[in-house]
Structure 1
Amino acid sequence: MRRSREAPLGRPYWVLWTAGAVSFAGDGIMFGALPLLAASITRDPRIVSLTEAVTNVGWLLLGLISGVMVDRWRRTTTMWIVDAIRAVVAGAFAVVVLLDLGTIPLLLLTAFLLGLLAPFFDNAASVVVTDVVVPASLERANGYSQASLVLLSSLIGPPLGAALFVLSRGLPILLNAVSFAGAAVLVWIIRKSAPARVIDADRHLGRELKEGLVYLWQHKLLRTLCLVLTIVNAVGAGIVAILVLYVLEVLHLPQAGFGWLVAIYAIGGVLGAFVAPRLSRRLSTSASLIGALFLSGVAIVCFGVLSGLAPVAVAAVALGFGSSWWNVVSITVRQRIVPAELLGRVTAVYRMVAFCAAPLGAVGAGFLAHRTDLRTPYLVMGLIQLAATAVSAPLIRREVRAATATP
């Protein structure tokens, strides 16, 4: 599981990286504006948290099917078609908001439609790296991709989205639609860089789904990481769902402060993305995975117990670092273990199982905040993640050793 040498990443990777960067920037702008749009209509944390919850419902409905399709179709083709459709959906909603016709039902409907499309794009984008990059360079490729994701969707995008929201509610959403369209064009240009999939004439949806499920369940390391990721995603969705209210009512920052805090988180995320490949050379895979989980859990607890802006900002940097560290290492592990012909399906099963908990985490945080206060969900969810880390650490160490020892 260690990188033995470096090789050039190549033009197809960098075009895909650029397309991803364009799309990430639009997502970040949308991320900074959408919660503010919801909060401008209602301050009920239960309703605001639904915005995050419905975005993840697509994984419950189409997550498994998207994995089969990604293994059947050329992965670059999947990416550009999905982004083109997302451009239309986001563009239509932008027009509605610009006309001052935006409502909570329309906001939730848009988030739901974009959430239905997300599994197809996310699965294809996650596995297409193995089509254009040699195995020895996967950590580096994943690190650069994670860095652009965090930098643009968390550091630059949200503050810009929040600032643009103040100027015009519909402008951030319109820019998100433009970013989807631009990314679609870029991927279309190099669509043939990824190989066409070899289709079995006797293909059967149920059988193909079963192959992905069985492979993941029988692989002890992947199964363990999948179960841990379920907890991590529930916690992550919960803390994001009420973050805008935490910023406005606990930290007493203006609306643009939501983007500022997300940007601070992103600073840690970018650092984590660049440092993770180097840590992979110095630490064992298990140490990296466990360390990332522990660091993130401690940071979330700090959100619930600290009161000053400065210490919360430090905790946000630590949370961003730990999240990127985990993502780079766990994604690379999965890419190296799973056979190419199964990677789309196994990735879909892996992520769908994990995303099942995300809507529950988002809604749970909203209801817990409604019953108590906006600090309690962070304390509770941080402790849950630390408990999950303690329970899973021995399993992760054992299964990484076993996977490494396998010829």
Structure 2
Amino acid sequence: MEEESRAGFRRLWLSTGSGNLADGILLAGLPVMATTVTTSPSLVAGVQVAFMSAIAVAALPSGVLTDRHDHRNLLVWSNVLRVLGLGAVLAAVVLGDWRLGAIYVAALLAGSTEMVADTTAEVAVPALVPRAGLAAAHSRLVGTQLVMNDGVGAPIGGWIAAGSMSVGMAVPAVLYGVAAAIVRPLRLPPVDRPPRRPARTEVVEGFAALRRDPLLLRMGTASMLMNVANTAFFAVAVLLVIGPMGLPRSAYGAVLLAVAVGGVAGSGLADRIVDTIGVRRVLQVSPLVLGGAYGLTGLAADTAVTVVSLAVLGASGIVWNISSRVIRQQRVPAPLLGRVSASIKLLSLAAAPVGGVLGGVVADLAGVRWVGALALSFGVAAAVVLWRVDPDMQPRDDQPSEPTRPMAIRRSMPVEPPWHPLPPIR
């Protein structure tokens, strides 16, 4: 049984790798494609607005789907839908002449299906690994996301998209198909699911559980502010690269590689950082570091400074993302995990499209470099939300059983490769 679980996790891991490689190629490629159609910062930022809007809208339905349905089937069909959807968009590009519209549709499709796939993969982990191995398992998953999205996918996506929109959409479609094929034989242990009730009732239960937990509620609020910063900055980052920095479009993905390098390097220090400064300081300092990296990158508009700042961004983001994910899985009962995770993601992502709009407006009015200062201000606001946080605070209505206290992360977080801040902070 233990060997079967290990094999199941490896299959989940490999499928995640293929799917996230496709995500990296597509999400780095779409803004580059947009710059071949328009030079308007607002229209280029619209790609990120569409992507983040789709993620926010899909958050609650994905939580209900995850708690109701077989995880393997959800993983298979979310990838199959990506293949079919990108195929339809590609056909429209080839047969018609609405390239900017096709880019927006591809962003909407990518955001909605990514939310379902990522939520399902995250919630499936506890069924495949023992509780003590959660941090290590998530480190592997988010490490794969980081490397495939930013380290491999982003450079390839930027390069491909600069040459051909059709190839830029066809390659991810093939990789999504591979992800579906890998995960299809996955066998998960049976789960006792409660009788199905109206979706609204189940959604309300997830929100109620989140509201009762002051730590998770504060973390979700801080994530929301950080995602405004994240979306504002990366909505126009390609314009920063090809404008003030003076680099070609094809270099955009290579610049994003710095995030992956920083994340992988920082993952080796994650355990030491948490042990040295504690969970509380990790939660408080990470938003300041992230905001500072956005601000320095935008205001300096220098290639060397950008590479260093994005590497710091990757290192800080990885510690935040793994810490928050493990805290969540240690505090939330299994039957509610999908809905609570989706509720937190909705809270953290709801304002992200606003960040894309703000980034485009600021770039139009004041110049693309000042978007970094905007992102910095939201990072400071997130740090203020968490400055008085108590990492041992318990839910109001019940006391979690051992070992759910988030301080356990200090003992369990491994020194292994983990994750990726470019897609949303969660």
TM, length-normalised to structure 2: 0.88
Is 1:402 paired with 2:393? Answer: yes
What's 2:40 paired with?
Answer: 44
Q: Is the 1:73–1:196 contact (alpha carbons within 8 Å) kept by the matching residues of 2?
A: no
What's 2:24 paired with?
Answer: 28
Matches within 5 A, 1:216-295: 216-295=210-289
What's 1:350 paired with?
Answer: 344
Q: Is the 1:46–1:367 contact (alpha carbons within 8 Å) kept by the matching residues of 2?
A: yes
What's 2:166 paired with?
Answer: 170
Change (3 A) 1:406 1:131: closer
Deviations along 1:144-181, whole A, 9 cap, x unmatched? 11111111111111111222224432112111001111
SS of aligned partner of 2:165: coil
SS of aligned partner of 1:10: helix
- Count residues with an aligned counterpart: 396
Cα shift at 1:387: 3.1
Matches within 5 A, 1:358-369: 358-369=352-363
Cα shift at 1:383: 2.4
Aligned match of 1:135 in 116, 131, 134?
131
What's 1:198 paired with?
Answer: 192
Deviations along 1:270-314, whole A, 9 cap, x unmatched? 223343245344442222222322221211121133242111211
What's 2:205 paired with?
Answer: 211
Give me the CA root mean square deviation. 2.1
What's 2:122 paired with?
Answer: 126
- Which residue identity is paired with 2:270? A
121-130 vs 176-185, greater mean Cα deviation = 121-130
Change (3 A) 1:151 1:99: farther
Is 1:297 paired with 2:288? Answer: no
Cα shift at 1:406: 6.1
Question: Between the two proteins, what is the percent identity of the paired residues?
Answer: 25
What's 1:3 paired with?
Answer: none
Q: Is the 1:70–1:124 contact (alpha carbons within 8 Å) kept by the matching residues of 2?
A: yes
Q: Distance in 2 between matches of 1:368 and 1:216?
A: 34
SS of aligned partner of 2:184: helix
Cα shift at 1:94: 2.9
Q: Provide structure 1 residue ranges, at least 5 long, that are not aligned to the other structure.
A: 1-6
Deviations along 1:56-102, whole A, 9 cap, x unmatched? 22244332122111101111221111111111111232344456745
Q: Distance in 1 between matches of 2:43 and 2:250?
A: 21
Q: Is the 2:293–2:313 contact (alpha carbons within 8 Å) kept by the matching residues of 1?
A: yes
What's 2:140 paired with?
Answer: 144
Q: Distance in 1 between matches of 2:166 and 2:196?
A: 48
- Which residue identity is paired with 1:213? F
Change (3 A) 1:162 1:325: same
Change (3 A) 1:377 1:159: same
Q: Provide structure 2 residue ranges, at least 5 long, that are not aligned to the other structure.
A: 402-426
Change (3 A) 1:100 1:264: farther
Change (3 A) 1:226 1:237: same
TM, length-normalised to structure 1: 0.92
Is 1:318 paired with 2:312? Answer: yes
- Which residue identity is paired with 1:306? A
82-91 vs 276-285, greater mean Cα deviation = 276-285
Q: Distance in 1 between matches of 2:58 and 2:288?
A: 31
Change (3 A) 1:111 1:236: same
Aligned match of 2:8 in 12, 21, 36?
12
Q: Distance in 1 between matches of 2:103 and 2:301?
A: 32
Deviations along 1:303-341, whole A, 9 cap, x unmatched? 133242111211110011111111111111101111110
Change (3 A) 1:271 1:99: farther
Q: Distance in 2 between matches of 1:382 and 1:60?
A: 22
256-265 vs 386-395, greater mean Cα deviation = 386-395
SS of aligned partner of 1:128: helix
Deviations along 1:233-269, whole A, 9 cap, x unmatched? 1111111100110101011101112111111122112
296-305 vs 283-292, greater mean Cα deviation = 283-292
Cα shift at 1:36: 1.1
SS of aligned partner of 1:41: coil
Is 1:93 paired with 2:89? Answer: yes
Is 1:185 paired with 2:185? Answer: no
Deviations along 1:130-157, whole A, 9 cap, x unmatched? 1211111111111111111111111111
What's 1:79 paired with?
Answer: 75
Deviations along 1:18-49, whole A, 9 cap, x unmatched? 11111111111112221111110001011111
- Which residue identity is paired with 2:393? A
SS of aligned partner of 2:393: helix
